[in-house]
Amino acid sequence: MDRETVHYTSVKTRIKGYGRIAASLKNQPLFRGSIAGKKHPAEDLDDSKVPEWLKVYVIELDRKLDQLLGIQSIQDLSKDFPIDMEIIKISGNGITFLSDFALKSKSIMEIVLVLNQVPLRMAGAKGVVEAGKDKNTWTIEFRYIKEHDIESIIKFVFSEQRELIRTDKIR
């Protein structure tokens, strides 16, 4: 999706990301994340006559399966996206990351960001790589990102900012 120039706030972070060199910004992305707004299957149990203890059991079982599938998804993801990235700054506009991979400025990359490990939440985007200020530091401005992925990133940034505010109040 092409977006008008909107400037989003950024936050320093330290999350895992995966990348691959892409041929074009116009090709369909390889990563297909989950569609936002899906109803959780446990919500169907609310109107049923299933006992409460069974609902709790099924929800806990679902949570554990999500964890196992998340671990498997990350292992599969690293095969398709061989460039390891450590994201050190993120916003709705792009990222700054560290990588030992020999990248070139102006390369087109497709990336997948692991926003949360449990439950697994990821977001994907495409953009153009630029060299950062320090060695092995790179930036990507998002040029192609789906609406639900940008929403996930913005929610992540807000969550990180709230955590920073809470931490500062405790000190």
Residue bearing the bigger pLDDT, 19 or 68: 19
Provide mean pLDDT across the span 9-15: 92
Provide mean pLDDT across the span 134-149: 93
Residue 102 has pLDDT above 80, yes or no: yes
- Domains of the chain, by residue range, sit at 10-170
pLDDT for res 41? 66
Question: How confident is the prediction for the chain on average, in pLDDT?
Answer: 85
In DSSP notation, 73-109 reads HHHHHHHH--EEEEEEEEESSEEEEE--S---TT-EE
Query: CA angle 66-69-70, nearest 5°?
Result: 80
Tokens of 5: 């120039």
pLDDT for res 36? 47
pTM higher than the cut 0.95: no
Bin 74: left if φ > 0, else alpha if -120 < ψ < 50, else beta. Answer: alpha
pLDDT for res 59? 82
Q: Structurally, what CATH architecture does the domain formed by 10-170 represent?
A: Beta Barrel (2.40)
- With beta carbons less than 8 A apart as the criterion, state whether 11 and 91 touch: yes
- With beta carbons less than 8 A apart as the criterion, state whether 92 and 157 touch: yes
Residue 106 has pLDDT above 90, yes or no: yes
Q: What pLDDT band is residue 11 in, cutting at 50, 70 and 90? A: very high
